[in-house]
Structures are given as structure tokens and as C-alpha cells.
Amino acid sequence: MSTLHLTPEERALLNGAEGTGVQQAMEIVVTLGRIYGATELVPIASAHISGVSYKNLGDAGLEFLDRWADEGARSRVPAWLNPMGMEAARWREMGIPADFGEPQLEVIEAFQRMGVTPELTCTPYLLPDHIPQRGQHLAWAESSAVVFANSVLGARTNREGGPSALASAIVGRTARFGYHLDEGRRATHVVEVTCPLHSVADFGALGQIVGQRVGGCVPCFADLRQWLPLLPRDITYGGEAVDRLKTLGASLAAYGAVALFHIAGYTPEAVDAGESLLRVDARHIVVDNLKTAYEAMNDADVLDIDLVSIGCPHASLAEIVQVADLVRGRRLQTQLWVTTARRTREAAVAEGWVQSIESAGGRVVADTCTVVAPLRILGIRSVATNAAKTACYAPAHSGVHVRFGTLEQCLEAALSGRWSA
Ligand code: F3S
């Protein structure tokens, strides 16, 4: 059994030198380190905290956060939040009742008292000042962001839980195990994809199939780069490569528990390590069509659509302009939400893209998403989406029926009110 070594400073935090709030955070980080056989803690560059919606936290979660803030816990590193259950500035306009909206705002205040920036997005890596660097250690909790940071950017994070990410932010460290180590990052499966992939939805469907096959392992896609343009130097705008990769990662994480994938000749560690990235016992998987995924993610009985949801993970500017181009000057027959980061929304307002979508009757919604918003309270029963992760979670989390297809199919449904195959 390995021993977790702490520096004198870490031992002091554990012994309460900076108060009970910090002590409790250190206890969480140290306990996880001991459970998973870590031998040391490692400083982190940032933390991303999930489990922020009042829908998930309830009053017990709010009290827990308030108590931690009262006990003097403060983040030592840049830290941000996953989406909550509503848009901060426009929740009344969204139809959110006060008995949800008010405690939700109290949740965010508790995080702010702990020094966490109220930036509520699952794509922090699309914001210019939040992009992790290769090799940096992080404590990120949002599963889709974890995959993107590990796989596409070459940063290092485990799939933290909300409380452990917050604890890591408070002590500025995480336990070094799993994806923080070279060994944990080697590929366990080689995936050969022999069918074409034409859209973001196709990448989500691929993630559904491979996620279910590999569970929490590390797939390496042998030949995927033929369906991906080069990754741009500046990823903050999004675009085909970024949007396909963020969707693939989100789907792998939702349908499996994937935290890291590689693409031969494309993602940074695969480019550098080549074949030596594969474990000797790596298994081989072939995906020759996406039909089963499309069938599994579509509720065939649903024709009338209440809400079309785009932006899971949160939409990039490239995705917002695509939606704007498809609906400009037309009139929608369903609700349409394009969910995104607040700063991305502001940038899209400056370009006039939000106005095009909102003039057609849609909304570009910041701070939230269709999985964490209280859809049933808003009277929504059926959702069409191009996001595999929404198709995975929305039925159970929000009690809605889902149709899954391409962006164009979804917006056709928004314009007609009905899903057409
Ligand atoms: Fe993000 Fe919500 Fe999807 S947190 S990844 S938009 S389920």
C-alpha cells in the first residue's frame, strides 16, 4: 500500500492552520488521495465545479455551501462553475418561478463568497483566459470539459465530483493519481471507424457507441482525423474541428465514463507518442455504422416538439452563427434554446447573431442548459437536439422525450413544430 506524503504546508492545512473550512477541504483531497493510492498532491492551475443547479442541490446542498463559506473556505486558484438551472439576468423572463430562482441565486452567492468566479459554462476552454495549457494539472468536474482538456489540449485532470473540485480549489491541489500520471493516459482500446462522419451529430452518435463499449477506459481512434479539419490555433471561436471534438468527448463521457481519448496523428499526446501510447493489452473495436446510436437516441413516438435545444456542450460562436443563418428572417413554431457561455453570448450579440435568432422567436440562453434547467416546471415535454449528451440525460433528468438528429433537422423541427425523419 503506497503512502501519501504531504509537505509541511499541506500538513498544516490538514491540521487546521487556516481554519475549519480549509481543513475540511484538505481532508477531502487527502482522503481521495489515500483511497486511490496517490503518493503526493500536485498543485492545480484551475478548478471547474459542477453540481451547481438548485435542481440537483436542493436546500441541503445550499446549506452545505453556505456553511463552508462561513467557515472561511476560499479558492486559491481560478475557479468557475458549470451551468445552473437558469440564466442569472433573465430567469423571470424564462418563466422560472421564484421558489426556484431565488435559492438558485443564493447558491451562486455562496460560491462567490468562496472566491469562485460566477462564470457558468461547461466549455470554459472556449474562453480566452481559461484555456488550460498542455501538461497543466487541473481539478475539473464537468465530464465533457474534462475530456476536452485531457484529450484535445493535453492538460491533466481526473473526473472530479463537484465537492472534490471545490475542495481542490480551496487547497490549490489535487491528489496525483489516474489521469495525472503517464500510465493512466495510455490507450486501452484501438477504435477503427469504417463509416463516414459528416456532422456534429454523427460524432455524438460515435461517442454513444464507443462510450458504451469502453466504459471508463481510454480509446484511441485510429483513423478519425480524415473526418476532422485541422484544429485552429485559436480554438475560442469553435468551428468544425472544435465542435465535433467537444461533442464526441461529451458523448463518450455520458454513455461511458471516458475522461480521455486519443486520435492517432491528431491529438497532442498521440502525435508525440505514436504507437507507444497503446497499452500492450489494448483491445480492438470496429465501428462500421451509426444506425444503432441514432435509433437508441430517438424516441420514435414523438412527432410534436416543444423545445429545440442546441448547445450541449455550450455552443461556440461558430455554432451560434450557423443557427442564426438557418433561422434569419423566419418564424419558429417551437421554443428554441441555444445554450452558451455568457461571454460567448455577449460576443454573439456584438455580431448581431443573437438578434437574428431572437427575432425568429428563439433564445440564446447563458448560464444554463436543458439538462439542468427545470424543464417540467416550464411545461416542456419533448425536446429535439443535435447533442448526444442531452439525448442521454434529458429523459431521466428532465422527464422529457427526445428526438436526436443533425442541426439542420433540429432547426427544421423548430420551423415546422414537428420532427420529420
Ligand atoms: Fe453542458 Fe449541460 Fe450539456 S452542462 S455538456 S450543456 S448537459
Same domain, 41 and 118: yes
In a domain, 215, yes or no: yes
Percent of the chain with pLDDT over 90: 95
The rounded Å distance from CA 289 to ligand 1 centre is 26
Q: How far apart are CA 29 and CA 240, in angstroms?
A: 38
Ligand 1, atom 3, residue with closest C-alpha: 312
What is the 371 CA–ligand 1 centroid distance (Å)? 7
Mean local confidence (pLDDT), 253-264: 98
The residue whose CA is least distant from atom 4 of ligand 1 is 122
Side-chain-side CA neighbours of residue 262 (13 Å): 27
Contact 310, 337 (CB under 8 A): yes
Q: Which of 251, 326, 261 is nearest to 294 (CA)?
A: 251
> Do 41 and 163 have their domain in common?
yes
pTM above 0.85, yes or no: yes
207 lines ligand 1 (CB under 6 A): no
Shared-domain flag, residues 18 and 159: yes
**Residue recorded with cell 492552520:** 17
Q: What spacing in Å lies between the alpha carbon of 315 and ligand 1's midpoint? A: 10
In this predicted model, what pLDDT tens digit does every residue of 337-359 receive, in sequence order? 999 999 999 999 999 999 999 99
Lowest mean pLDDT among 1-5, 16-20, 33-37, 366-370: 1-5
Asked whether residue 253 is domain-assigned, the answer is yes
Is 358 inside a domain boundary? yes
Last residue of a domain, one of 180, 198, 213: 180
Cα 248 to ligand 1 centroid, rounded to whole Å = 13
Domain presence at residue 393: yes
- When pLDDT is averaged across residues 214-223 and rounded to a whole number, the result is 97
The answer on pLDDT for 375 being more than 70 is yes
CA distance 17 to 10: 10
Average pLDDT over residues 373-390: 95
Q: Is the pLDDT of residue 2 over 90?
A: no
- Nearest ligand 1 atom to alpha carbon 314: 6
312 and 265 within one domain: no
Among protein residues, the one with the nearest Cα to ligand 1's atom 6 is 312
The 3-state DSSP class for residue 17 equals: coil
Residues 54 and 79 grouped into a single domain = yes
pLDDT computed for residue 141 by the predictor = 98
Domain count, the chain: 3
Q: Specify the residue with its C-alpha closest to ligand 1, atom 5.
A: 313
Q: Domain boundary residue among 180, 196, 218?
A: 180
* pLDDT at residue 4 in the model: 97
Establish if 3 belongs to a structural domain. no
Ligand 1 centre to CA of 80 (Å) is 15
Are 61 and 164 within one domain?
Answer: yes
Q: Is the CB of 313 under 6 A from ligand 1?
A: yes
386 and 329 within one domain: yes
- 55 pLDDT band, cuts 50/70/90, is confident
Q: Among residues 274, 293, 312, which one ends one of the domains?
A: 293
Q: Tell me, yes or no, whether 289 and 301 share the same domain.
A: no
**Whether residue 274 is found in the same domain as residue 315:** no
* 86 lies in the same domain as 54: yes
In a domain, 1, yes or no: no
Task: Kindly state whether residue 421 falls inside one of the protein's structural domains.
Answer: no
In a domain, 70, yes or no: yes
Q: How is the beta sheet containing 47-49 ordered, strand by strand?
A: 79-81, 47-49, 139-140
Q: Is the CB of 83 under 6 A from ligand 1?
A: yes
Question: What is the domain extent for residue 130?
Answer: 8-180
* pLDDT confidence tier of residue 1, bands split at 50, 70 and 90: low
pLDDT at residue 37 in the model: 96
Report how far residue 239's alpha carbon sits from residue 41's, in angstroms, rounded to the nearest whole number. Answer: 36
Quote the pLDDT of residue 401.
96
Indicate which atom in ligand 1 lies nearest the CA of residue 144.
Answer: 5
Same domain, 26 and 174: yes
Ligand 1 near 389 CB (within 6 A): yes
What CATH number did the domain enclosing 397 receive? 3.30.499.10
Q: How far is the CA of 370 from the centre of ligand 1 (A)?
A: 8
Residues 46 and 134 in one domain: yes
Mean pLDDT of 202-218: 98
Q: Does the pLDDT of residue 373 top 70, yes or no?
A: yes
In the numeric block, which cell numbers belong to residue 221? 481512434
Is pLDDT above 80 for 112?
Answer: yes
Query: pLDDT tier at 144 (50, 70, 90 boundaries)?
Result: very high
Separation between Cα atoms, residue 72 and residue 200, nearest integer Å = 44
Tell me, using a 6 A CB cutoff, whether residue 144 lines ligand 1: yes
**Which residue's C-alpha comes closest to atom 7 of ligand 1?**
371
